[in-house]
Protein backbone atom coordinates (compact mmCIF):
# COMPACT_ATOMS: atom_id res chain seq x y z
CA UNK A 1 0.00 0.00 0.00
CA UNK A 2 1.01 3.62 -0.37
CA UNK A 3 2.51 5.61 2.48
CA UNK A 4 0.41 7.33 5.13
CA UNK A 5 -2.19 9.63 3.64
CA UNK A 6 -0.85 12.66 5.47
CA UNK A 7 2.31 12.37 3.38
CA UNK A 8 0.44 12.43 0.07
CA UNK A 9 -0.04 15.71 -1.83
CA UNK A 10 -3.67 16.79 -1.78
CA UNK A 11 -3.97 16.43 -5.55
CA UNK A 12 -3.12 12.72 -5.35
CA UNK A 13 -5.64 11.74 -2.67
CA UNK A 14 -9.06 10.27 -3.37
CA UNK A 15 -11.64 12.83 -2.30
CA UNK A 16 -14.51 10.42 -1.79
CA UNK A 17 -14.97 6.91 -0.51
CA UNK A 18 -16.04 5.06 -3.64
CA UNK A 19 -12.94 5.09 -5.83
CA UNK A 20 -12.23 1.75 -7.50
CA UNK A 21 -8.60 1.53 -6.41
CA UNK A 22 -7.73 1.28 -2.73
CA UNK A 23 -4.29 2.81 -3.21
CA UNK A 24 -4.10 6.30 -1.76
CA UNK A 25 -2.20 7.63 -4.75
CA UNK A 26 -3.80 7.64 -8.19
CA UNK A 27 -0.34 8.05 -9.68
CA UNK A 28 0.91 4.87 -7.99
CA UNK A 29 -2.09 2.88 -9.23
CA UNK A 30 -1.55 4.22 -12.76
CA UNK A 31 2.10 3.16 -12.52
CA UNK A 32 1.02 -0.41 -11.71
CA UNK A 33 -1.40 -0.47 -14.62
CA UNK A 34 0.98 0.99 -17.17
CA UNK A 35 4.06 -0.95 -16.04
CA UNK A 36 2.74 -4.42 -15.24
CA UNK A 37 -0.89 -4.79 -16.27
CA UNK A 38 -1.65 -3.12 -19.59
CA UNK A 39 1.49 -4.37 -21.41
CA UNK A 40 0.49 -7.98 -20.57
CA UNK A 41 -3.26 -7.61 -21.00
CA UNK A 42 -4.59 -9.88 -23.78
CA UNK A 43 -5.99 -7.96 -26.74
CA UNK A 44 -9.49 -9.35 -26.17
CA UNK A 45 -9.51 -8.17 -22.56
CA UNK A 46 -8.28 -4.73 -23.59
CA UNK A 47 -11.07 -4.52 -26.15
CA UNK A 48 -13.72 -5.54 -23.62
CA UNK A 49 -12.33 -3.16 -21.00
CA UNK A 50 -12.57 -0.27 -23.45
CA UNK A 51 -16.11 -1.23 -24.45
CA UNK A 52 -17.17 -1.49 -20.81
CA UNK A 53 -15.69 1.93 -20.05
CA UNK A 54 -18.54 3.44 -22.07
CA UNK A 55 -21.21 1.68 -20.00
CA UNK A 56 -23.00 3.95 -17.49
CA UNK A 57 -22.32 1.33 -14.76
CA UNK A 58 -18.68 0.82 -15.70
CA UNK A 59 -17.60 0.95 -12.04
CA UNK A 60 -19.14 -2.52 -11.67
CA UNK A 61 -16.49 -4.12 -13.85
CA UNK A 62 -13.49 -6.00 -12.49
CA UNK A 63 -10.39 -3.81 -12.56
CA UNK A 64 -7.59 -4.72 -14.96
CA UNK A 65 -5.13 -5.51 -12.19
CA UNK A 66 -7.62 -7.85 -10.55
CA UNK A 67 -8.29 -9.52 -13.88
CA UNK A 68 -4.58 -10.20 -14.20
CA UNK A 69 -4.52 -11.56 -10.65
CA UNK A 70 -7.45 -13.93 -11.31
CA UNK A 71 -5.78 -15.22 -14.45
CA UNK A 72 -2.55 -15.99 -12.60
CA UNK A 73 -4.44 -17.58 -9.71
CA UNK A 74 -6.44 -19.92 -11.94
CA UNK A 75 -3.27 -21.10 -13.63
CA UNK A 76 -1.45 -21.59 -10.33
CA UNK A 77 -4.13 -23.89 -8.93
CA UNK A 78 -4.67 -25.66 -12.28
CA UNK A 79 -8.39 -24.92 -12.13
CA UNK A 80 -10.61 -26.63 -14.66
CA UNK A 81 -14.18 -26.48 -13.36
CA UNK A 82 -15.15 -22.99 -12.20
CA UNK A 83 -18.13 -20.81 -11.37
CA UNK A 84 -18.76 -17.08 -11.52
CA UNK A 85 -21.64 -15.33 -9.78
CA UNK A 86 -22.07 -11.82 -11.16
CA UNK A 87 -20.85 -11.36 -14.71
CA UNK A 88 -21.72 -7.83 -15.88
CA UNK A 89 -20.08 -7.41 -19.32
CA UNK A 90 -17.75 -10.34 -18.73
CA UNK A 91 -14.27 -8.92 -18.11
CA UNK A 92 -13.44 -11.28 -15.23
CA UNK A 93 -15.28 -14.06 -17.07
CA UNK A 94 -13.05 -13.55 -20.08
CA UNK A 95 -9.95 -13.51 -17.89
CA UNK A 96 -11.03 -16.85 -16.42
CA UNK A 97 -11.92 -18.38 -19.79
CA UNK A 98 -8.56 -17.42 -21.29
CA UNK A 99 -6.70 -18.85 -18.31
CA UNK A 100 -8.54 -22.19 -18.27
CA UNK A 101 -7.39 -25.16 -20.36
CA UNK A 102 -9.22 -25.89 -23.60
CA UNK A 103 -11.63 -28.26 -21.86
CA UNK A 104 -12.17 -25.96 -18.86
CA UNK A 105 -15.68 -24.91 -17.90
CA UNK A 106 -17.33 -21.89 -16.26
CA UNK A 107 -20.86 -21.84 -14.91
CA UNK A 108 -21.65 -18.12 -15.14
CA UNK A 109 -24.73 -16.55 -13.57
CA UNK A 110 -26.12 -13.04 -13.72
CA UNK A 111 -29.58 -11.48 -13.54
CA UNK A 112 -28.89 -9.33 -16.63
CA UNK A 113 -28.17 -11.09 -19.91
CA UNK A 114 -28.17 -7.77 -21.77
CA UNK A 115 -24.93 -6.69 -20.09
CA UNK A 116 -23.33 -10.09 -20.75
CA UNK A 117 -24.21 -9.81 -24.44
CA UNK A 118 -22.22 -6.57 -24.65
CA UNK A 119 -19.06 -8.56 -24.09
CA UNK A 120 -20.16 -11.79 -25.78
CA UNK A 121 -18.91 -10.87 -29.27
CA UNK A 122 -15.44 -10.24 -27.82
CA UNK A 123 -15.57 -13.53 -25.92
CA UNK A 124 -16.61 -15.36 -29.08
CA UNK A 125 -13.88 -13.69 -31.11
CA UNK A 126 -11.35 -14.79 -28.48
CA UNK A 127 -12.42 -18.39 -29.07
CA UNK A 128 -13.44 -19.20 -25.51
CA UNK A 129 -17.26 -18.97 -25.59
CA UNK A 130 -17.52 -22.78 -25.61
CA UNK A 131 -16.13 -22.85 -22.06
CA UNK A 132 -19.01 -20.74 -20.70
CA UNK A 133 -22.43 -21.93 -19.56
CA UNK A 134 -24.28 -18.66 -18.98
CA UNK A 135 -27.52 -18.70 -17.03
CA UNK A 136 -29.69 -15.64 -16.60
CA UNK A 137 -31.44 -15.15 -13.30
CA UNK A 138 -30.77 -15.22 -9.56
CA UNK A 139 -27.97 -17.57 -8.53
CA UNK A 140 -29.44 -18.81 -5.23
CA UNK A 141 -32.13 -21.07 -6.77
CA UNK A 142 -29.50 -22.63 -9.04
CA UNK A 143 -27.14 -23.19 -6.12
CA UNK A 144 -29.93 -24.68 -4.02
CA UNK A 145 -30.73 -27.14 -6.79
CA UNK A 146 -27.09 -28.09 -7.19
CA UNK A 147 -26.71 -28.69 -3.46
CA UNK A 148 -29.91 -30.73 -3.39
CA UNK A 149 -28.82 -32.86 -6.37
CA UNK A 150 -25.74 -33.94 -4.47
CA UNK A 151 -23.67 -34.77 -7.55
CA UNK A 152 -22.10 -31.31 -7.61
CA UNK A 153 -20.68 -31.47 -4.09
CA UNK A 154 -16.95 -30.75 -4.10
CA UNK A 155 -16.73 -30.48 -7.89
CA UNK A 156 -15.59 -26.87 -8.36
CA UNK A 157 -11.95 -25.86 -8.31
CA UNK A 158 -12.54 -22.12 -8.21
CA UNK A 159 -15.57 -19.88 -7.65
CA UNK A 160 -15.57 -16.09 -8.08
CA UNK A 161 -18.35 -14.00 -6.52
CA UNK A 162 -18.90 -10.39 -7.58
CA UNK A 163 -22.61 -9.89 -7.18
CA UNK A 164 -25.23 -8.63 -4.71
CA UNK A 165 -23.36 -7.98 -1.47
CA UNK A 166 -26.47 -8.54 0.66
CA UNK A 167 -26.45 -12.18 -0.45
CA UNK A 168 -22.75 -12.96 0.01
CA UNK A 169 -23.42 -14.78 3.28
CA UNK A 170 -26.15 -16.82 1.60
CA UNK A 171 -23.83 -17.69 -1.27
CA UNK A 172 -21.10 -18.75 1.13
CA UNK A 173 -23.37 -21.23 2.93
CA UNK A 174 -24.02 -23.02 -0.36
CA UNK A 175 -20.70 -22.63 -2.12
CA UNK A 176 -18.79 -24.43 0.63
CA UNK A 177 -20.68 -27.58 -0.38
CA UNK A 178 -19.84 -27.11 -4.04
CA UNK A 179 -16.15 -26.18 -3.96
CA UNK A 180 -13.74 -29.05 -3.48
CA UNK A 181 -11.52 -29.41 -0.42
CA UNK A 182 -8.42 -27.46 -1.38
CA UNK A 183 -10.43 -25.38 -3.84
CA UNK A 184 -10.84 -21.60 -3.71
CA UNK A 185 -13.71 -19.15 -3.44
CA UNK A 186 -12.93 -15.52 -4.20
CA UNK A 187 -15.25 -12.83 -2.83
CA UNK A 188 -14.85 -9.48 -4.54
CA UNK A 189 -15.31 -6.01 -3.00
CA UNK A 190 -14.55 -7.11 0.56
CA UNK A 191 -12.90 -3.78 1.37
CA UNK A 192 -15.85 -2.01 -0.27
CA UNK A 193 -14.22 1.15 -1.52
CA UNK A 194 -12.40 1.54 1.80
CA UNK A 195 -15.70 2.14 3.58
CA UNK A 196 -15.09 -0.74 6.01
CA UNK A 197 -12.84 1.58 8.03
CA UNK A 198 -14.48 4.90 7.17
CA UNK A 199 -16.09 6.95 9.96
CA UNK A 200 -19.90 7.15 9.86
CA UNK A 201 -19.85 10.75 8.62
CA UNK A 202 -17.42 10.10 5.76
CA UNK A 203 -18.67 11.13 2.30
CA UNK A 204 -19.90 7.96 0.57
CA UNK A 205 -21.92 7.19 -2.49
CA UNK A 206 -25.39 5.94 -1.54
CA UNK A 207 -24.82 2.40 -2.77
CA UNK A 208 -21.52 2.21 -0.86
CA UNK A 209 -23.20 3.20 2.38
CA UNK A 210 -26.14 0.84 1.79
CA UNK A 211 -24.04 -2.33 1.29
CA UNK A 212 -21.31 -1.49 3.80
CA UNK A 213 -22.85 -3.40 6.71
CA UNK A 214 -23.34 -6.50 4.57
CA UNK A 215 -19.66 -6.47 3.63
CA UNK A 216 -18.64 -6.02 7.26
CA UNK A 217 -20.86 -8.95 8.24
CA UNK A 218 -19.29 -11.14 5.56
CA UNK A 219 -15.75 -10.27 6.61
CA UNK A 220 -16.47 -11.19 10.22
CA UNK A 221 -18.11 -14.46 9.19
CA UNK A 222 -15.24 -15.49 6.93
CA UNK A 223 -12.65 -14.67 9.59
CA UNK A 224 -14.47 -16.93 12.07
CA UNK A 225 -15.24 -19.84 9.71
CA UNK A 226 -13.12 -22.88 10.70
CA UNK A 227 -13.86 -24.65 7.41
CA UNK A 228 -11.67 -22.29 5.41
CA UNK A 229 -8.29 -20.58 5.33
CA UNK A 230 -8.53 -16.96 4.21
CA UNK A 231 -6.39 -14.27 2.67
CA UNK A 232 -7.76 -10.75 2.15
CA UNK A 233 -5.89 -8.71 -0.43
CA UNK A 234 -6.11 -5.01 -1.39
CA UNK A 235 -6.35 -5.82 -5.10
CA UNK A 236 -9.03 -3.94 -7.01
CA UNK A 237 -11.71 -3.20 -4.43
CA UNK A 238 -10.46 -5.91 -2.09
CA UNK A 239 -10.71 -9.65 -2.67
CA UNK A 240 -10.88 -12.36 -0.03
CA UNK A 241 -9.69 -15.81 -1.03
CA UNK A 242 -11.14 -18.72 0.91
CA UNK A 243 -9.49 -22.12 0.66
CA UNK A 244 -11.77 -24.91 1.81
CA UNK A 245 -10.03 -27.20 4.29
CA UNK A 246 -12.96 -29.24 5.57
User: What's the 3-state SS for 42-96?
Assistant: CHHHHHHHHHHCCCCCHHHCCCHHHHHHHHHHHHHCCCCEEEEECCCCCHHHHHH
- Strand 228-233 versus strand 132-136 pairing type: unpaired
Cα–Cα distance, 27 to 36 (Å, whole number):
14
**Per-residue pLDDT tens digits for 88-134:** 999 999 999 999 999 999 999 999 999 999 999 999 999 999 999 99
Least Cα distance to 17 among 79, 59, 67 occurs for 59
38, 67 contact by CB (below 8 A): no
Cα–Cα distance, 224 to 221 (Å, whole number):
5
pLDDT tens digits for the chain (246 residues)?
333 333 333 333 333 333 457 887 889 999 999 999 999 999 999 999 999 999 999 999 999 999 999 999 999 999 999 999 999 999 999 999 999 999 999 999 999 999 999 999 999 999 999 999 999 999 999 999 999 999 999 999 999 999 999 999 999 999 999 999 999 999 999 999 999 999 978 999 999 999 999 999 999 999 999 999 999 999 999 999 999 999
Range 8-23 burial, b when 16+ CB lie within 10 A, else e:
beeeeebeebbbbbbb
| CATH tag, 26-244 | 3.40.50.150
Cα–Cα distance, 140 to 170 (Å, whole number):
8
**Per-residue pLDDT tens digits for 79-91:** 999 999 999 999 9
Cα–Cα distance, 212 to 111 (Å, whole number):
22
Cα–Cα distance, 11 to 29 (Å, whole number):
14
Amino acid sequence: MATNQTEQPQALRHQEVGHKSLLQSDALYQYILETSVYPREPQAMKELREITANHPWNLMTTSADEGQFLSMLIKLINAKNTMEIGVFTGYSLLATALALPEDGKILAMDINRENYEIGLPVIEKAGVAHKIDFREGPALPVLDQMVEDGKYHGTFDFIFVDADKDNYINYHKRLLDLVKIGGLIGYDNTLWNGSVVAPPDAPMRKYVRYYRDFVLELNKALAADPRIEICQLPVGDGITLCRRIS
